[in-house]
Amino acid sequence: MENIALIDSFSEFKDIKSIDRVTLMSILEEVFRAALKRRFGSDENFDIIINPDKGDLEIWRNRVVVADEMSEDDNEEIELSEARKIEPDFEIGEDVSEEVKLVDLGRRAILALRQNLISKIHEHDSTNVFKQFKDLEGDIYSAEVHHIRHNAVILLDDEGNEIVLPKSEQIRSDFFRKGDTVRGVIKSVELRGNKPAIILSRTAPKFLVKLFEQEIPEVFDGLITIEGVARIPGDKAKIAVDSYDDRIDPVGACVGVKGSRIHGIVRELGNENIDVINYTKNEQLFISRALSPAKVLSVTIDKFEEEKNGKKGRVNVLLKPEEVSKAIGRSGVNIRLASELTGYEIDVQREGLEEEDVELTEFSDEIEAWVIEEFKKIGLDTAKSVLEKDVSMLVQRTDLEEETILEVQRVLREEFEE
């Protein structure tokens, strides 16, 4: 009775979890052998016959017949008098196979056996899920919002697998309700204990790449290649594209007529502004294109002997005064993305800088670098450009306190008074 009840319960479990017959038999045998080892000290002399489809289970213990009072191991040897209770014609030295009933293991052992089986099948299922999603790392995946926490959205896919979209991997404008379908890329998959932790991301640059592959046939077919991506999620992105086919305009193909092709991607990313740029191996030209919509007059590259902080070198870019703010962008976003896309630190210089004017970087001994950077973010990179601006305007456009701005202007003013 115990045999049938135990196996029947796992026939049902097999159907729920879709575990194949061979795997189920392997798990069952592993657990039974562990139980026999605990009970008898060894499982090597046992044969286990399982038919999970019918719920049949047979366990046979094989022992060698020895003379009475000569047995040294009750598990592997059986005395002649005991053997003849099974079959009266057994002789010393012969092998005896005797069936072991689960009830002989005791009720507590049977309950432990059942729990161990459940644990092993859960573990097998988790391992399969882990392998499945590990192969999907970097791919787009869709799942439905199950519930929302303050630091993450918990999603469930069609198979009931739990996927986590942390707050840090969400675009600022993302807003989800229960039942919404959410797309992202599988960023990472880890086994935590016996449970797979599947992390989805909507902020990873890879998500933008995969959306281009999904939405633009030429990218999917490999006619257009993506050479680089830089993103500030939900705000702005730059993506460099190229084609080995001279008949294809990679930028035009990606954007589409009146933006028709890229519109769906922009909408998916919370109206993220996407600049599509023609890639070129000519680094000066590539840097100029990366700084669009600004028009660059000249580019001077100073390469490092070794990469520093992921950058290949420093670039000095000359622009007309009216183009500086375009190159830098609101809050420095444009120049930051151009730097990330090209792999160079970029310094912007105005054309026709007055001889009596001085670049802010010359004051690095008296003014902290982060303060100088705040001014450069809004296109102010010389002493006079900062002195000409009203303090209240500078307070509004930068993250600097009024006191800090006044102190900077005092230092700059002293330079010219000298």
Confidence of residue 272 (pLDDT cuts 50, 70, 90): very high
Q: Give yes or no: residues 62 and 162 share one domain.
A: no
Domain identity same for 25 and 73 = yes
Identify the pLDDT of residue 380: 82
- Is 55's pLDDT higher than 60? no
State which of 171, 203, 235 marks the end of a domain: 203
Q: Work out the average pLDDT over 264-280.
A: 93
Is 25's pLDDT higher than 80?
no
Same domain? 396 vs 314: no
Residues 157 and 73 in one domain: no
Judgement on whether residues 343 and 358 belong to the same structural domain of the protein: no
pTM of the model: 0.64
Six-digit token string for 63: 């022992």
Number of domains in the chain: 5
Q: Are 279 and 228 in contact (CB under 8 A)?
A: yes
Give the CATH number of the domain where residue 82 resides.
3.30.1480
Q: Between residues 43 and 357, which one has the greater pLDDT?
A: 43
pLDDT of residue 352: 65
**pLDDT score of 255:** 92
Angle of the 283-290 helix axis to the 333-342 helix axis, nearest 10: 150
Domain match, 114 and 227 both: no
Are 94 and 27 members of one domain? Answer: yes
* CA pair distance 275, 240, nearest whole angstrom: 8
Tell me the pLDDT of the chain averaged across its residues: 84
Distance from the first to the final alpha carbon of the chain: 103
User: pLDDT band at residue 413, thresholds of 50, 70 and 90?
Assistant: confident
Give pLDDT, residue 224. 95
Least confident segment among 67-81, 209-223, 287-301: 67-81
CA distance linking residue 141 with residue 249, whole number of Å? 29
Q: What is the mean pLDDT of residues 67-83?
A: 82
Residues 330 and 358 in one domain: no
What is the tens place of the pLDDT at every residue in 199-253?
A: 999 999 999 999 999 999 999 999 999 999 999 998 999 999 999 888 999 999 9
Residue found by looking up tokens 């006619």 in the block = 223
pLDDT band at 67 (very low <50, low <70, confident <90, very high): confident
Going by pLDDT thresholds of 50, 70 and 90, the confidence category of residue 21 is low
**CB 383, CB 363: distance < 8 Å:** yes
- Quote the pLDDT of residue 9: 52
Q: What is the pLDDT of residue 418?
A: 54
- The CATH number of whichever domain residue 297 belongs to comes to 3.30.300.20
Angle at the Cα of 194 from the Cα atoms of 188 and 197, rounded to 5 degrees: 20
Selected residue with higher pLDDT from 144 and 29: 144
205 φ, ψ (degrees, to nearest 5)? -55, -30
Residues 15, 128, single domain; the answer is yes
Q: What is the pLDDT of residue 131?
A: 85
Residue 45, domain extent: 2-132
Final residue of a domain: which of 132, 162, 184?
132
Token pair for 131: 């392998």
pLDDT confidence of residue 263 = 92
171 and 141 both lie in a single domain: yes
Last residue of a domain, one of 132, 160, 179: 132
pLDDT at 1: 39
pLDDT digits (tens, 9 = 90+) for 98-113: 888 777 676 777 777 7
CATH number at residue 192: 2.40.50.140
Does residue 122 share a domain with residue 46? yes
Sign of CA dihedral 170, 174, 177, 180: negative
Long-range contact set of residues 178-181: C-beta below 8 Å, sequence gap at least 24: 178/145, 178/146, 178/147, 178/148, 179/144, 179/145, 180/144, 180/145, 181/142, 181/143, 181/144, 181/145
User: Residues 88-92: what's their mean pLDDT?
Assistant: 84
pLDDT at 379 over 70: yes
Task: State mean pLDDT over 321-334.
Answer: 84
Position 106 scores a pLDDT of: 66
d(CA 190, CA 204): 18
Is residue 27 a contact partner of residue 11, using CB atoms and an 8 Å limit?
no
47 and 105 fall within a common domain: yes
Residue 3 has pLDDT above 70, yes or no: no
